[in-house]
Each structure stands twice: as structure tokens, then as C-alpha cells.
Amino acid sequence: MDDQDGASAFGFEGSWREFAPIAFTNLLLTIVTLGIYRFWATPRERRYLWSRSRFVDENLEWAGTGKELFIGFLLVLLLFALPFFVISQVAQALVMRGQEALGTILTLGSFLLIFYLAGVARFRALRYRLSRTRWRGIRGGSDNQGFGFGLSYMWKTLVGYVALGLMIPWSMTSLWNERWGKMSFGPYEFQANAESGGVFARFLLFYLSPLIFFVGALVLGAMGMLAGFGVGGEEGAKIGGFVSLLGIALFFYLGLGLIAVVFYAKYYREVVGATQWRDIGFSFEASTGDWIKLLLGDFALVVLTLGIGWIFLSYRHWKFFMVHLEARGEILLDELTQSTTRTATHGEGLLDAFDMGAI
């Protein structure tokens, strides 16, 4: 397979008109089954999205089934949700009967366990997706169970938050490297060498934010009061001040969100760009502006359709991902043999339970 100069190695050929019947019937069936059809709705959606996604000269395939997602969900319910519920009840009873220390330890312990399982779940969700993705009949996966990653996730996240959160970029990139480094597609492993240095500058924006807000608040507040005073004297100044407060609150949320997007856009370019598969290097070309457009579009779509547009978000996000993903390099198809990784017979139940996104 040759290096595809000019044309992008990844492409998306779907249309929302084709997707709409899938999304609407999924919604309808999910409603009449009280949510149970969700497990079958997800693979239907993905089968469509994957089949309309092209890598070089062949489309992807989603081979996951609803049954395995359902089994995954049941497993999580049985193995984690039920024990957790019992533990929390026991802890409560202990506290009520005067055993505060024991009860607190039990509660803390169960929260630590959830923290750990959240890490394992992130790992397994990626593994599940790769193992159910086919390209030219070949799939990916990992022979790692993700239990070690769960531990890394715990301590690296914790370390990230010490030193005023200055280590967060490091913990994010190093977890990405660790997670992808254990994945493979066909016979070849992925490699990721993302570095936190590249995203650190933008991360510092979070620290500047209080200063920006402070100055912004002063300016906005003064302007609002002056304007109010000009219009209606003392009373006007009060109203103007109130309006300014509203403006500051809005500014705060929008401003913080904006900084998060600015950081995340760079982070995603960095980590995808540092990921390799054999001789193929990946890159992600979405700028901060692209991300903002995506999010504003999402917002408009959901609000203007009174919420129904929500069923199209997965389509929009997948399209965004495929359109901006690029790959460079070459691979010999004859050498690209089937993955020998073990495939789990159940779906991403853990991640479903913690309600997290995948990529």
C-alpha cells in the first residue's frame, strides 16, 4: 500500500439522511423497550458509521453485537453495582451503630475501588473498540487485561493533581501512551510517545484564568455601573451592576469552557500525532476553531430541535473524528495478518456503567 499523498487516508462517506432512519427507529425502539434496546441501538449506529468510514481503499466494519453489550452490562451489574450497593449499606449501618471509623474506611475503600475500575474501564473500552473494528477482515485488540493500567491510572491521576495540578498534562499524555502502547491491530502494536511539553503552555491558561476573570469582572462591572448610572442615576447603577454580575457569571463559564477547548484541541493533536502503528503515523488536524464550531453546532442542533437533535450527536462526533484524522506511511498488506489477541465475549459494560466516552 502506497503513501497516499494529497488525498487523506481516512474519509467519511456517510450522510445524515441515511443515518436519520437508523437514529429515529433506535430512539423509538429504545423508548418502547424502556431502554433495553439501547444495547442493540449502539451497534446499529456504529455499524453504519464504521461502514461509511474509509481507510485508504477499504471501509471499516463494526463487528460488535448488541448481545455482548447487554451481557457486559449484566456482568457489571452483578459484579460491581450490586456489591457496591451492599457495601454502602453496610457502611451506613456501621456508622449508625457507632462504628464511624470502620464505616468511613469501608466507604473510602469502595470509592478507591471505583476509581481503580474507572481506569480499567477506559482501557477495556478502547480494547473492545479495536477488537470489534475490522479493516479488510483484520481486527485489533490487546492481550493485556488492563488491570495494571488501572493502577497506573490511579497513581498518575493523583500525582497530576499534586503541585496545583501542574502535572495534569503529564498524567494525561503518559496515560495515553501507556494505553495505546498496549494495543495492537493485526500483528502490529501501536506506539505512542506523546509529550506533555507540547501541551503545557496551553494548560497554563487555566492558571491565568483567575487573573483574566478578575480584570474582566472589574472592567465589566465598572462599565455596567457607569452605563446604568448614566441612564438612571443611583437606581440605574444598581441595575447596571446586577446585569454586569450576570455577564461575569456567563463570562466565567464560557471562559473556562473556552480554555478547556483550547487546551483539548492541542492535546488531541499532540497525542494522536505521537501515535504510530508499524510504519504508519497518525495526525489529527482539527484546530481550536474546528472544535468550537463542532460544539456550537451540537448546542444549536440540540436546542433548536428541542432535544431531538441529540440523537445525531454521535454521528456528528464520529464524522468530525474521521474527517480530521490523517495517516501517513505504508504497510504491506500481505504481512498484515489476523490479530492473535484474545477477544472478550462481552462488551464495554464497565465503561457503560461509568458513562464515559471512548476516544
Partner 1 sequence: MAKACLTRSTWARSRPVEQGFRTSAQWYDGVTARRHEGEAEWDGSGQLLLHSSDGQSTAVALEDLRYFEKRRDSLVYARDSVADFRLVLPADLPPALDRALPTRGEYGAWIDRMGLGKAIIGFGAISAVAVALFMTAPEWLGPRVPVSWERKMGDAMIGNFGGRLCHTPAADAALAKMQDRIDPAAGDIRVGLANIDMVNAVALPGGQVLMFDGIIQQAESPEELAGVLGHEIGHVRERHVMTALLRQFGLSILLAGANSGLGDTAFGIAAMGYSRDAELEADAYARKQMAKGRVSPLGAAGFFERMAKESGEGESPALIGWIATHPSSRDRAKAYRTSATEGAAYPPVLTKQEFAALKSACKDDPDVEDFDFF
**Closest by alpha carbon to 179, among 283, 285, 271?**
271
Smallest gap from Cβ 26 to partner 1, in A, equals 9
Residue closer to partner 1, measured from CB, 54 or 238: 54
Stretch that binds partner 1, among 30-38, 258-266, 285-293, 295-303 (CB under 8 A): 30-38
Angle of helix 82-96 versus helix 100-132 axis, rounded to 10: 170
Distance of alpha carbon 70 from the chain centroid: 21
Residue closer to partner 1, measured from CB, 100 or 285: 100
Q: Is 10 strand, coil or helix?
A: strand
Of positions 87, 138, 205, 261, contacts partner 1 by CB under 8 A: 138
Report residue 332 as a C-alpha cell: 504491506
The footprint of partner 1 on this chain (CB under 8 A) covers a number of residues equal to: 36
**Does residue number 107 form part of the binding site for partner 1 (CB under 8 A)?**
no
Burial 92-112 (b: 16+ CB within 10 A, else e): eebbeeeeeeebeebbeebee
Smallest gap from Cβ 344 to partner 1, in A, equals 15
Distance of alpha carbon 99 from the chain centroid: 40
**Does residue number 59 form part of the binding site for partner 1 (CB under 8 A)?**
yes
**Does residue number 104 form part of the binding site for partner 1 (CB under 8 A)?**
no
Of positions 11, 107, 114, 136, contacts partner 1 by CB under 8 A: 136
Neighbours of 207 (CB within 10 A): 12
Instruction: Give the per-residue contact string, 329-358, with partner 1 (x = CB under 8 A; - = no).
Output: ----xxxxxx--------------------
Smallest gap from Cβ 338 to partner 1, in A, equals 5
Distance CA 182, CA 36 (A): 33
Specify the DSSP class assigned to residue 33.
Answer: T
**Closest by alpha carbon to 343, among 139, 117, 176?**
139
Residue closer to partner 1, measured from CB, 31 or 260: 31
Distance CA 280, CA 144 (A): 22
**Does residue number 124 form part of the binding site for partner 1 (CB under 8 A)?**
no
**Does residue number 54 form part of the binding site for partner 1 (CB under 8 A)?**
no
Instruction: Give the per-residue contact string, 171-200, with partner 1 (x = CB under 8 A; - = no).
Output: ---------------x--------------
Element (H, E) at 301: helix 288-304
Q: Cα–Cα distances in Å, from 192 out to 183, 184, 300? A: 10, 12, 35
**Does residue number 66 form part of the binding site for partner 1 (CB under 8 A)?**
yes
Amino acid at 72: G
Residue closer to partner 1, measured from CB, 29 or 217: 29
**Does residue number 96 form part of the binding site for partner 1 (CB under 8 A)?**
yes
Summarize as ranges the residues that interact with partner 1 (CB under 8 A). Answer: 13, 25, 28-29, 32-34, 37, 40, 44, 47, 51-52, 58-59, 61, 63, 66, 85, 89, 92-93, 96, 134-139, 186, 333-338
